[in-house]
Amino acid sequence: MVYAIVDIETTGGYASANGITEIAILLHDGERIVGQYERLINPGIPIPVYIRALTGITDEMLADAPTFAEVAKEIYDLLADKIFVAHNVNFDYSFLKYHLGAAGFDLQCRKLCTVRLGRKLLPGLSSYSLGKLRSQLSIDHGRRHRAGGDAAATAQLFSLLLSRDTEGYIGQVLRKNSREQQLPPNIHVSEVEQLPACPGVYYFRDQKDRVIYVGKAVNIRKRVLSHFTGNNSGRQRQEFLRNIHSIRCTPCGTELMAFILEAVEIKRLWPANNRALKRFEQTYGLYMFEDQKGYLRLMVDKRKRHSSPLLAFNSLLEGRNVLLSLLDTFRLCPRLCFIQTSCDACSGVEKGTCLGACAGREEPEAYNQRVLDAADYLQRSLPSFLLVDRGRSDDEKSVILIERGNMYGMGYLSPQIPLADVESVKSVTEQYPSNDYIRNLIFQHASRHPEKVVPLDLHQRVE
């Protein structure tokens, strides 16, 4: 078994938009170095100032160096049948796989990460960065931030790790389909193995324990592992994986509850790597306001940030149809509701729904009472129900409580608690903020699964 211990220097942090400026490969047979390769490479793009300052490699040094395509075959031949070893292996491997692929070579190697191996075989150290390990383990410091020097330091570290591996841990990692091959450098395999195979929400946290991503899953463990498969070389994915230092989760009874909790947590925590649910809002709302003459007016308008409409809609047509129904039922004025620019009452015609408010023949108090009645009717017509489903175990049920069209909360209760006892249900229900996205999820699920819906009559509770 031969190991290829690799270090590269690059023009930036991700392969798809950056080039390799230097590469060093040390071949290790498990006991000693048996071959080495080191070369400067012309990346075809300028080296950023901060990279020049870090590595000491300049554009002038690379002017006569070969391009990666010119040396791709010899690099591929060195790596193809070896075990690829590097400190934070996914970084080096993603660069070489991407650039070898661009040159027509498909790199497929088993990998070993000396960061991950160090955490397992040298526990209790203050840091596992290569620079800190050099100091803590008295490894030769020659040429830091150059491929040859860092590869040599990694080789010394790897030899030490091999000598400490008395229980065959490295062999376990190298087994086909080993999870160690997939995981980011800062995540221990036991942390993933402890994740449950049930619906729920998971949280990726960074080195400072800040949540950087929230996700939902039908099977938490399987979904978390799916984040770590493949070799995407883009900046966003590479930085994302490097920043994951711990994983937490909250099991849920159902996938729907996981959807809801994910939406709530994204709004609460605002993680840097979540995007889609941050933007969701329904487009239109039904608003009520008082005009300068003292008349209450209803109107359908685009949603305004931080506004509280009586009801929200996905389309203007949906909102207009609801408003037309209120006009007819409560004899409201189409002009005061912005449905028409004039109405029969404006022209003195005694027909239609308007009783003359727009023409000043009906006092604001009388008209406003009908508007308030319409708003109250709208609130009363919104459904109240429980959505009952399986719990997290066989001795409980999950419930989602909808109260007058809004989600009150969700939780888990014993089968002995009667569902008709709303106060008892509320006592075991955790309240969550409701929004249009969550309401849509619940109503769509309820319409598809009417057998899970328990209607509630809360009219007597309206104050």
C-alpha 67/C-alpha 73 separation (Å) is: 12
Task: State the pTM of this model.
Answer: 0.63
Angle in degrees, CA 297, 298, 301, rounded to 5: 125
CB 133 within 8 A of CB 24: no
The mean pLDDT value of the chain amounts to 88
Q: What is the pLDDT of residues 86-126, one digit of tens each?
A: 998 988 998 999 999 999 999 999 999 999 899 889 998 88
Token output for 347: 């022209």
Tally of CB atoms within 10 A around 221: 19
Nearest to 20 by CA among 50, 54, 57: 57
151 in helix, strand or coil? helix
> What is residue 66's DSSP assignment?
P
CB 457 within 8 A of CB 420: no
Label residue 315 left, alpha or beta by phi (over 0 means left) and psi (-120 to 50 means alpha). beta
Q: What is the pLDDT of residues 267-312, one digit of tens each?
A: 899 998 888 665 556 678 899 999 999 999 999 998 877 778 888 8
- pLDDT score for 98: 92
Q: Which of the pair, 151 or 189, is modelled with greater confidence?
A: 151
124 in helix, strand or coil? coil
Q: Where are the alpha helices (DSSP H) in 123-230?
A: 130-136, 147-164, 169-174, 189-193, 220-226
Residues β-bridged to residue 39:
23
Q: Where are the alpha helices (DSSP H) in 35-102?
A: 49-55, 59-62, 68-79, 89-102
Within a 13 Å sphere around the CA of 455, how many CA atoms are in the beta-carbon half?
7
**Phi (first) and psi of residue 337, to 5 degrees:** -100, 10
Strands 83-86 and 111-113: parallel
Token output for 227: 């984040």
Helix (H) or strand (E) holding 369: helix 364-381
Q: Where are the alpha helices (DSSP H) in 80-129?
A: 89-102, 114-121
> Helices 89-102 and 68-79 sit at what angle, rounded to 10 degrees?
120
Nearest to 435 by CA among 263, 299, 286, 266: 263
Q: How far are the Cα atoms of 156, 252, 253 from residue 256, in angstroms, in the given order?
A: 51, 9, 9
C-alpha 219/C-alpha 385 separation (Å) is: 28
Averaged pLDDT for residues 49-54: 91
Label residue 288 left, alpha or beta by phi (over 0 means left) and psi (-120 to 50 means alpha). beta
- pLDDT score for 240: 86
If you search the block for the tokens 């493949």, which residue do you land on? Answer: 230
CA 425 to chain CA centroid, nearest Å: 31
Q: What is the pLDDT of residues 340-382, one digit of tens each?
A: 887 766 665 555 678 888 888 899 999 999 999 999 888 888 8
**Taking 80 as the threshold, does the pLDDT of residue 135 lie above it?**
yes
Q: What is the pLDDT of residues 17-35, one digit of tens each?
A: 899 999 999 999 999 999 9
C-alpha 174/C-alpha 181 separation (Å) is: 7
Token output for 291: 């005009």
Nearest to 402 by CA among 381, 382, 428, 374: 382
How are the residues of the chain apportioned to helix, strand and coil, as percentages rounded to the nearest 5?
40, 20, 40
* Burial of 455: CB neighbours in 10 Å, binned 0-12, 13-18, 19+: exposed
Q: What is the pLDDT of residues 218-239, one digit of tens each?
A: 999 999 998 887 655 566 777 8
